[in-house]
Amino acid sequence: MDISVFVGKWVLIGSFSIKSELQFIGRKPDSNGVKNWLNNPMSQVLKRVKSTEGLTLIINPDGTFQEQKTGNPKVEWFDCEGVLCAEVKPFNGYINVLESKPYLMTDQCPSWAKDKKLRYNDGDTKICDTVHLDNEQLIRVVSIVTDDMYFDKVVLVYAKKITK
């Protein structure tokens, strides 16, 4: 996959978050529940996005990225260790493309907690952070699983900032 389509400065225009729990089939937990939650992009929820601003995502041609907080975005935010934060805490990182899917990875996490597709995995908490384009908007989906039972998903919508 050519990541050049993602290169540029993207400003946050909206966000949406949902919570769920592992589903059971009969009396047994859904054996694919965690995998499905982490890999489902959730584009269909874009109609539920609420306007917000105050965060910029800069994606460089070499595949690295930086986040800059420019205000007080109303966004549910999980830091690099999967902790729910009271406010957005930007981080830097790189894009890892696997099977034609771009994953955002952070530079701040210890190497033992990184995975090829997960921004963070300490055994108890797993975070998958992906991006894709939809109608000229960058859609970022952050999927969090805690204790293989509790699920959070944060959808961030960005518009490309045109510089003159």
Alpha-carbon distance of 46 to 158, in angstroms, equals 12
pLDDT for res 114: 82
Is residue 20 predicted with pLDDT exceeding 80?
yes
Average pLDDT over residues 75-89: 90
Find the CATH number of the domain harbouring 88: 2.40.128
Give the count of domains, the chain: 1
Over residues 145-163, the mean pLDDT reads 91
Share of the chain above pLDDT 70, in %: 95
What is the spatial distance between Cα 124 and Cα 52, in angstroms, rounded to a whole number? Answer: 30
| pTM confidence score | 0.89
**Does the pLDDT value for residue 82 go beyond 60?**
yes
Which residues, 6+ apart, have CB-to-CB distance to 27 below 8 Å? none
* Calpha distance 34→154 (Å, rounded): 16
Mean pLDDT of 93-107: 93
Range list of β-strands (E), 99-160? 101-106, 120-121, 125-134, 137-146, 150-160
What domain range is 81 assigned to?
A: 3-160
